Amino acid sequence: MIEFLPIILFVVVFLAILFGYPVSFTLGGISIIVGVIVFDIDFFYLLSLRVYGTMNNFVLLAVPLFVYMGIMLEKSGLAENLLETMALIFGRFRGGLAIAVVIVGAMLAASTGIVGATVVTMGLISLPTMLKRGYSVSLATGTIASSGTLGQIIPPSVVLVLLGSVLNVSVGDLFTAALIPGLMLVGGYLLYIIIVANISPEKAPVMKEEELQAFRSEGMWRQIFFAFVFPFLLIAAVLGSIFAGLASPTEAAGVGALGATVLTIFSGKFNLKILKDVMRDTTYLTCMVFMILVGATAFSLVFRGLEGDDLLVNIIQNANLSPTAFLIMVLLIVFIAGFFIDFIEIVFIIVPVVAPIFAAMGIDLVWIGILLAVNLQTSFLTPPFGFALFYLKGVAPEGVSTTNIYRGIIPFVIIQLLFLVLLILFPGIAGLR
């Protein structure tokens, strides 16, 4: 019984979270109780050292900075201007508005990295407009929900920053490995929209000619420059400084946070209220992440102190699971967990348990990080429990049913699953051997 205590601890924590108890306090509280019982009062000394070491991790400073960058772009209205301008640029094509939503969703999701915030923002901005212009409800909702989750894989991504910290791999390497897969996924979405728009034109009509003519005659290039070029240059500067080796991800996050503020000032949207709202939301999300991180640190300390990782390795070896079979099992567990708990909890609860096993099997942890990010993104889209679907339903106009959302998201989930299989079969897509 004693030897299975780590597994019992894991199951109890997981069940408590499923029943709705706060994640950070559940993780930390149960782990501390078990730690004191098993390791005596000295456990608090060990825990303080671990928490202090974790909070000294310079890479984690990128989390609040990237979150600030994304929320500033949202709150200032720059994201809304970007979407309207992109819609007019692609308006003469069938499905042009949906194409604009995917591109803007990718940029906004990457800069924010928080699925709920992005899906809600895109839903409020895009969905009424798409429905008013005659788009199919299913196509509109599927496009918005799938675009809002692209921040899981497209750098700079909070998910990848946290995965890099937990897997103990370079965040810059994760960003580099994720860039091509992220762009390919965007390409898959766009290809599907173009095919649907041409096969069923009534589902994705073109914009009215008078709207396009008014756009061309009223300072089109100036609007494009201010709405599109500046945010694009901001994201390019953040990623470019990382890929060129000029800045670490944390330093690049600082560039992004400052750049988003400067853009808001230049656009004339900056005021004290927006600054307070952005700082409040950034503080809230950052505190949530780091409280969970502290709880996860306590859990990881107890789990490994009870030799839980060795127990799992022995179970896998006795079961004669191949590395591929173990990988598929972990992806399936993470996929199902994504129905019930947020990506932050999964990164800090499940990933630290399986990461040493992957390392012992000689599997590239950067590749594992990319697979986990895509897998989580797919999980958040999959009916009936996908988080992104609930977020979208919460802000959808009256008349948009849950069935419409489920029907619209299915093709995008299929694209995700096919892409995940491709990544497993061909790691070279992520630039890995």
Residue 431 lies in a domain: no
CA distance 69 to 254: 9
Judge whether residue 189 has pLDDT over 90: yes
* Max mean pLDDT range (289-303, 384-398, 416-430): 416-430
Confidence of residue 412 (pLDDT cuts 50, 70, 90): very high
Residue 428 lies in a domain: no
Residue 238 lies in a domain: yes
pLDDT higher for 366 or 66? 366
**Percentage of the chain lying above the pLDDT 70 cut:** 88
DSSP letter at 362 equals: T
Judge whether residue 130 has pLDDT over 60: yes
Q: Is the CA virtual torsion 60, 63, 64, 68 positive or negative?
A: positive
Spatial neighbors of 160 by CB under 8 A, at least 6 apart, are: 153, 171, 174, 175, 178, 369, 373
Q: What is the pLDDT of residues 207-223, one digit of tens each?
A: 776 666 766 666 667 77
Q: Report which of 16, 19, 137 is spatially closest to residue 398, judged by C-alpha positions.
A: 137
The residue behind tokens 């791999």 is 169
Q: State residue 317's pLDDT score.
A: 67
Residue type, 316: I
Residues 389 and 381: beta-carbon distance below 8 Å: yes
Q: What is the pLDDT of residues 325-349, one digit of tens each?
A: 888 888 888 887 777 666 777 787 7
DSSP letter at 51 equals: H
Determine the average pLDDT of the residues in 248-274: 85
Q: Report which of 88, 84, 83, 86 is spatially closest to residue 209, judged by C-alpha positions.
A: 88
Residue 271 lies in a domain: yes
Judge whether residue 228 has pLDDT over 80: no
Q: What is the pLDDT of residues 346-362, one digit of tens each?
A: 787 788 888 888 888 88
Pick the range with the lowest mean pLDDT from 123-127, 131-135, 262-266, 404-408. 123-127
CA distance 103 to 90: 11
* Max mean pLDDT range (129-143, 301-315, 393-407): 129-143
Which phi and psi (to 5°) does residue 273 adopt? -65, -45
Extended strands (E) in 356-426? none
Q: Considering its fold, how many domains does the chain have in total?
A: 1
Determine the average pLDDT of the residues in 366-374: 91
Judge whether residue 2 has pLDDT over 80: no
Q: Report which of 191, 196, 90, 215 is spatially closest to residue 140, judged by C-alpha positions.
A: 196
Residues 430 and 180: beta-carbon distance below 8 Å: yes
Q: Report which of 349, 360, 422 is spatially closest to residue 14, judged by C-alpha positions.
A: 349
Q: Is the CA virtual torsion 23, 29, 31, 34 positive or negative?
A: negative
62: number of Cβ within 10 Å: 27
Residues 8 and 38: beta-carbon distance below 8 Å: no
Q: State residue 109's pLDDT score.
A: 64
Judge whether residue 112 has pLDDT over 70: no
Q: Report which of 31, 71, 14 is spatially closest to residue 274, judged by C-alpha positions.
A: 71
* Average pLDDT for the chain: 80
**Percentage of the chain lying above the pLDDT 90 cut:** 9
Residue 161 lies in a domain: yes
* Predicted structure pTM score: 0.76
Residue 407 lies in a domain: yes
Pick the range with the lowest mean pLDDT from 215-224, 279-288, 415-424. 215-224
Give the range of the structural domain holding residue 243, as residue numbers without chain letter.
2-423
Pick the range with the lowest mean pLDDT from 22-26, 194-198, 375-379. 22-26
Q: State residue 42's pLDDT score.
A: 78
19: number of Cβ within 10 Å: 8
Could you give the angle at the alpha carbon of 366 between the alpha carbons of 254 and 323, nearest 5°?
155
pLDDT higher for 298 or 74? 298
Q: What is the pLDDT of residues 157-181, one digit of tens each?
A: 778 888 888 888 888 888 888 888 8
Residue 326 lies in a domain: yes
Structure tokens at 416: 């995700």
Q: Report which of 220, 224, 155 is spatially closest to residue 186, judged by C-alpha positions.
A: 155
- The end-to-end CA distance of the chain, in Å, is 42
> In Å, how far from its chain's centre is CA 14?
21
Q: What is the pLDDT of residues 28-66, one digit of tens each?
A: 888 888 888 888 887 787 788 877 776 777 777 877 887
Q: Report which of 311, 307, 59 is spatially closest to residue 168, judged by C-alpha positions.
A: 59
Judge whether residue 433 has pLDDT over 60: no
CA distance 429 to 422: 8
Structure tokens at 131: 């429905």
Q: Report which of 185, 241, 195 is spatially closest to residue 375, judged by C-alpha positions.
A: 185
> In Å, how far from its chain's centre is CA 120?
14
Largest CA distance in the chain: 77
